[in-house]
């Protein structure tokens, strides 16, 4: 494999010394970029874009042509596994993901097929391989998945939800059914991430988007333990180098020490958790990724620079920080404001690594 020209992202995840704090953005290939919108229109719809390795590669590369990002992230969707299980994923304009079939009973869980991820999700692996070739060692490639709990919520509700009433009712009323579903998903996710690593992903992230809706006991039982199971089953070295694992639970700041203990290399923060406090909680056990409020990008470049400086100062001197947003960038952001953001991280972080 081609040697990495810029490995500061991987070094930071391992707590090694870097010259400046590395940065990438969740949803960095997205609707805020006019070139992304043009490619999506060319594809016809979102899933066609995801399922075309060539177009997925193109939109993955687009932000790297504009910005000095320190990592690329595979363009895909967290719901590829339930879709491959036959639930019929589709997207309606402005309404987010929906499934044609739901999973709400023991029989529904039993009927879910065991995936052969290399064939059932071959388009994802083909995209990973193509992106790695296109990157040509410029920056590392991140693969990703949704957490079992997050996937289960969509599979049970059939879409996003404000109160997750069906998922929570199943969890509390029939925990054995929920555990059977989560166990099946954990096995699929482990195989899926390992296939991405085999295809060329150099780090992976688990998006636990809806873990934060749970009580502490429910989070530990129905989300965290399954992410721990996944982490323990992952390929942790490829191309002679460690493959770091990032775990991001949105609204999970309360549980950072517990997340840090599951064997991951990095915990992701949303913007509600002060990064300096997070560092106090986890010490140097894991790296920290985050965590600027995406809405700051609507403000002026000068204000964006101020916020970058504040977060860098809150984390303080030393290694183990990957700068990111606290969630995905939103579609209405001015692309020029992202330039100010990325450049500010590199410019103002150097002093913390001397």
Local confidence band at 166 (pLDDT 50, 70, 90 cut-offs)? very high
Closest to 327 measured CA to CA, from 219, 247, 213, 209: 209
β-pair partners for 204: 143, 245
The pLDDT of residue 92:
77
Domains and CATH numbers, the chain: 8-353 (3.20.20.210)
pLDDT in tens, 43-90: 999 999 999 999 999 999 999 999 999 999 999 999 999 999 999 998
Do the annotations mark residue 11 as ligand-binding?
A: no
pLDDT given for residue 1 in this prediction? 58
Give which of 61, 81, 82, 65 is closest to 73, Cα–Cα: 61
Residue 209, annotated as binding a ligand? yes
Return the pLDDT at 156: 98
Backbone angles phi, psi at 290, to 5 degrees: 150, -170
Q: Cβ contacts of residue 7 below 8 Å, gap of 6+? A: 140
Render pLDDT for 279-315 as a digit per residue (tens, 0 to 9): 999 999 999 999 999 999 999 999 999 999 999 999 9
Per-residue model confidence as pLDDT tens digits over 231-276: 999 999 999 999 999 999 999 999 999 999 999 999 999 999 999 9
The annotation status of 31 as a binding-site residue, yes or no, is yes
Q: Are 250 and 289 in contact (CB under 8 A)?
A: no
Is 200 part of any known ligand binding site?
Answer: no
Reading the block at residue 149, the tokens are 């709990």
Q: What is the pLDDT of residues 195-226, one digit of tens each?
A: 999 999 999 999 999 999 999 999 999 999 99
According to DSSP, the β-strands at 237-238 and 241-242 are antiparallel
Q: What is the DSSP letter of 329?
A: P
- Provide the pairing of β-strand 89-92 with 245-249: unpaired
Q: Is 219 marked as binding a ligand?
A: no
Residues in CB range of 225: below 8 A, 6 or more apart: none
Known binder of ligand: residue 173?
no
Instruction: Reply yes or no on whether the pLDDT at 2 is more than 90.
Output: no
For residues 282 and 289, give the distance between their C-alpha atoms in angstroms, rounded to a whole number: 12
Residues classed as catalytic: 27, 31, 40, 77, 154
Q: Across the chain, what does the average pLDDT equal? A: 97
CA dihedral 188, 193, 199, 201 (to 10 degrees): 170
What pLDDT score does 224 carry? 98
Distance CA 308, CA 324 (A): 10
The reply to whether 154 sits in an annotated binding site is yes
Tokens 């064997």: give the residue. Answer: 263
Helix (H) or strand (E) holding 90: strand 89-92
C-alpha distances out from residue 84 to 78, 89, 156, 192, Å: 12, 9, 16, 11
**Rounded Cα distance, 272 and 126, in Å:** 36
pLDDT in tens, 150-164: 999 999 999 999 999
Tokens linked to 314: 């809150």
pTM of the model: 0.97
Residue 135 DSSP one-character state: H
Is 28 a known ligand-binding residue? yes
Query: Is position 30 annotated in a ligand binding site?
Result: yes
């Amino acid at each position: 494999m081609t040697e990495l020209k810029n490995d500061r992202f991987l070094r930071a995840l391992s707590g090694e010394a870097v010259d400046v704090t590395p940065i990438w953005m969740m949803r960095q290939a997205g609707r805020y970029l006019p070139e992304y919108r043009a490619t999506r229109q060319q594809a016809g719809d979102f899933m066609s874009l995801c399922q075309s390795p060539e177009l997925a590669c193109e939109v993955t590369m687009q932000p790297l042509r504009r910005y000095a990002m320190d990592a690329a992230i595979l363009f895909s969707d967290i719901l590829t596994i339930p879709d491959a299980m036959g639930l019929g994923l589709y997207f309606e304009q402005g309404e987010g993901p929906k499934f044609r079939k739901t999973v709400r009973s023991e029989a529904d869980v039993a009927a879910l097929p065991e995936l052969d991820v290399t064939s059932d999700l071959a388009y994802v692996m083909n995209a990973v391989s193509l992106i790695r070739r296109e990157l040509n060692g410029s920056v590392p490639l991140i693969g990703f998945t949704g957490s079992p709990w997050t996937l289960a919520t969509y599979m049970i509700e059939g879409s996003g939800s404000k109160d997750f009433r069906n998922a929570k009712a199943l969890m509390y009323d029939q925990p054995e059914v929920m555990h059977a579903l989560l166990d099946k998903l954990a096995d699929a996710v482990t195989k899926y991430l390992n296939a991405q690593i085999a295809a060329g992903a150099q780090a992976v992230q688990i998006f636990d988007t809806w873990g934060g809706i749970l009580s502490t006991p429910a989070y530990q039982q129905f989300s965290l333990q399954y992410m721990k199971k996944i982490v323990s089953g992952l390929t942790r070295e490829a191309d002679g180098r460690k493959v770091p694992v990032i775990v991001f639970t949105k609204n999970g700041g309360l549980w950072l020490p517990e997340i840090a203990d599951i064997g991951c290399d990095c915990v992701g923060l949303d913007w509600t958790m002060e990064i300096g406090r997070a560092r106090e909680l986890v010490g140097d056990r894991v790296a920290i990724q985050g965590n600027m409020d995406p809405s700051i990008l609507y403000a002026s470049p000068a204000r964006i620079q101020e916020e970058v400086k504040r977060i860098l100062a809150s984390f303080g001197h030393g290694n183990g920080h990957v700068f990111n947003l606290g969630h995905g960038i939103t579609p209405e952001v001015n692309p020029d404001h992202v330039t100010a953001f990325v450049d500010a991280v590199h410019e103002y972080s150097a002093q913390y690594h001397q």
